[in-house]
Amino acid sequence: MAKGKDEWLFAINFVKHPTMLGSVIPSSRWLIRSLLAPVDWERARYFVEYGPGVGTITRHILKRMHPEAKLLVLEINDDFVRHLNSAIDDPRLVVRRDSAASLGTVLDELDWPHIDYAVSGIPFSIMSSEDVEAVLKETRARLPPQGEFLVYQFSRHSAQYLHRSFDDVSREFVLRNVPPVSCYRARSNGGIGPSEAPAPM
């Protein structure tokens, strides 16, 4: 489907489900460049993307990832799931109509050993804190210490969730996007997450 039609489908869905999308147009190329800058394309074999929408970031990942790598996308909007299945023909892509909070179950079904990168644009600021915590817990549990969670968020308040769940979080602000956006890079040192650790005596 042409880029204009992708944008049209995205805008229609923003009108139908404004809180599910959080933004009226897909990610800009400046946002995508910053978000994916940390990726080691030669090494990584297992990618996951939460909330691919019409596949704007998905296509970039597929273009750059290794021929033997795989990409799982988790999306809860039926229109977008249908669109992704019909518009992108790549055997390395797995599209699932599931919430990001179901990551562990889906990975077990697919028999993936771990993930190297999780990429996310789902809007934490308009989700319940229980849902956000579930997504972060599932993600952290499946990322090895050298793995990274690459996240973009429109609200700066979302950073608190990342800091609570990951040991090392850095941020880059991208002005050339509608609306301007923060890109986060989150890593853990292994072991249980800071928010799950017992309180000091």
Ligand X SMILES: C[S@@+](CC[C@H](N)C(=O)[O-])C[C@H]1O[C@@H](n2cnc3c(N)ncnc32)[C@H](O)[C@@H]1O
Position 89: which residue type? Answer: D
Please state the closest distance from residue 169 (CB atom) to ligand X, in A. Answer: 20
Please state the closest distance from residue 126 (CB atom) to ligand X, in A. Answer: 9
Rule CB under 6 A: which residues touch ligand X?
Answer: 20-23, 26-27, 50-53, 56-57, 74-77, 80, 99-100, 121-123
Those residues whose C-beta lies under 8 Å from the C-beta of residue 193, and which sit 6 or more positions away, are: 136, 137, 140, 164, 165, 166
Please state the closest distance from residue 191 (CB atom) to ligand X, in A. Answer: 26
Comparing CB distances to ligand X, the nearer of 120 and 188 is 120
Sheet of 181-187, strands arranged across: 93-96, 70-74, 46-50, 117-120, 148-153, 181-187, 168-174
Cβ atoms within 10 Å of 128's Cβ, excluding its own: 8
Comparing CB distances to ligand X, the nearer of 179 and 191 is 179
Comparing CB distances to ligand X, the nearer of 44 and 100 is 100
Comparing CB distances to ligand X, the nearer of 44 and 48 is 48
Please state the closest distance from residue 23 (CB atom) to ligand X, in A. Answer: 4
Spatial separation of the C-alpha atoms in residues 146 and 46, rounded to whole Å: 13
Residue number of the CB atom closest to ligand X: 51
Which residues pair with residue 74 across a beta bridge? 50, 96
